Amino acid sequence: MNRFDPPGGRPWGLFALCGASMLLNVVLGTRMLLSPGTHEPAVIAPEMPAPAAVVHEIADPPVPVQPVQPIEPVEDEAFAEIEPEVPAEPAAPEIPDDVRTASLKIEHSLARTFSNGIGDGGDEVAAVVARLFVWDLDLRRDLQAGDHVTVAWEGSGPGLQIPAARYRSKKLGTLRAYRYTAEGDTWPSWWNEEGVEVSRALKDSPIEGYEQITSLLKDRPRHRGMDFKAPEGTPIVSPRDGVVTRVDWNVKNNGNCVEVRYPDGTLARFLHLSQTDVKEGARVAKGSVVGLSGNTGHSTAPHLHYELEKNEQVVDPIDYHGLTRRTLDPAERARFDARIARLDAWLEAADRK
């Protein structure tokens, strides 16, 4: 077979030139496709339709709770110079306008102490304080320099009343008296902080329903008995069986009066009565009425004077009859404690003056 030869012979140079040109075009085209320039990419994916919008509710993210860090003390000279606050004093208690208070050191006697300490009316206040504490305090022997008395009082003259009093004794300790009306009582009495009555009562007393024992045998040198403050017309009874020996003698001083002899020979006298209900020579039984209390004779206020005598010697009714003392019912303690708390505040306010 004869080999084909184109006319003009075989153009190898032309073949070589064409092949090189084609290779160069391929290289340049590839570089243009891969270049990040502004040229459009050679192949573009067909445009796809956009998806429908979807809205998702997103809850607020929880706020983490940060632990409280202790505050470190700041050491600073400015802070170091600040003085600590002083607590305010408690508010003063409300004391009624008609109540006065005093806190006094004892000077020789109660009378002198109050006269020097409060001036006018001091002797009246001293007399009532003496009646409160006479049961526990010998006013002639127990008062000492350095003792202290604090009192709240209202009114004056016969109407003077003491709601609360306190006596600090170097010898006997602290004595207290609070005016309080116990359940079932007609009049108030005075009680200590334990709910025990300060004043005592006679056993087989000649009078019931009296307001207060205002005087004892030893209160005054010439006083011969006990005085019971009571409204006019209060029944007076014989504490023992006996015989009436006299009625209405020495009326100028005694007023209406009755004398009864007890079986042991003791003479009992009931003075300043508004009326007498027995006659001389009559026999009386224990507890029978001999008269009614009054304000006759040498008397400045309604009361009963009760005195005893045996073998021409004055007898102290306390020694003859003996004494009894009451204690408040526990059911009353809440009301009583509230009362004395208020009265104690008055006394403490007086101490701070």
Task: Read off the pLDDT of residues 224-267 as tens digits, 9 standing for 90 and up.
Answer: 999 999 999 999 999 999 999 999 999 999 999 999 999 999 99
Q: Which residues, 6 or more positions from 149, have their beta carbon under 8 angstroms from its beta carbon?
A: 103, 104, 106, 110, 113, 129, 165, 166, 167, 168
Q: Are residues 207 and 297 in the same domain?
A: yes
Are residues 136 and 237 both part of a single domain? no
Strand partners, 6: none
Would 158 be classed as within a structural domain?
A: yes
CB of 129 closer than 8 Å to CB of 112: no
**CATH number where 290 lies:** 2.70.70.10
Reduced to 3 states (helix: H, G, I; strand: E, B; else coil), residue 6 is: coil
**Domain range spanning residue 338?**
99-199+326-352
Contact residues for 74 (Cβ-Cβ < 8 A; gap 6+)? none
User: Would 2 be classed as within a structural domain?
Assistant: no
Q: How far apart are CA 272 and CA 252, in angstroms?
A: 10
Closest alpha carbon to 180 in 327, 295, 48, 41: 327
Tokens 């002198």 belong to residue: 112
Q: 259 and 236 in one domain?
A: yes
Using DSSP, state whether 105 is helix, strand or coil.
Answer: strand
Residue 72 included in any domain: no
Rounded to an integer, the average pLDDT of 73-84 is 52
| Beta-carbon contacts of residue 189 (< 8 Å; ≥ 6 apart) | 179, 180, 181, 182, 197, 198, 199, 212
Claim to verify: residue 118 and residue 215 sit in the same structural domain:
no
| Residues 313, 206 within the same domain | yes
Q: 311 and 334 share a domain?
A: no
Both 297 and 224 in one domain: the answer is: yes
Q: Are residues 233 and 140 in the same domain?
A: no
Do residue 302 and residue 342 come from a single domain?
A: no
Lowest mean pLDDT among 157-166, 172-181, 328-337: 157-166
For residue 202, the cross-strand partners are 323
Under a CB-based contact definition with an 8 Å cutoff, are residues 153 and 125 in contact? Answer: yes
Please indicate, yes or no, whether residues 248 and 184 belong to a single structural domain of this protein.
no
Across 15-24, 34-43, 299-308, the highest mean pLDDT is recorded for 299-308
pLDDT of residue 56: 38
25-77 pLDDT, tens per residue? Answer: 554 555 554 444 444 443 333 444 433 333 334 344 454 545 555 555 545 55
Which residue type occupies 21? S
Strand partners, 180: 189
Q: For the chain, what is the domain count?
A: 2
With a threshold of 0.85, does the pTM exceed it?
Answer: no
Q: What CATH number is given to the structural domain containing 146? A: 3.10.450.350
| Nearest CA among 212, 185, 211, 181 for reference residue 339 | 181
Q: Are residues 237 and 315 in the same domain?
A: yes
Same domain flag for 306 and 338: no
Nearest to 39 by CA among 26, 30, 27, 48: 30
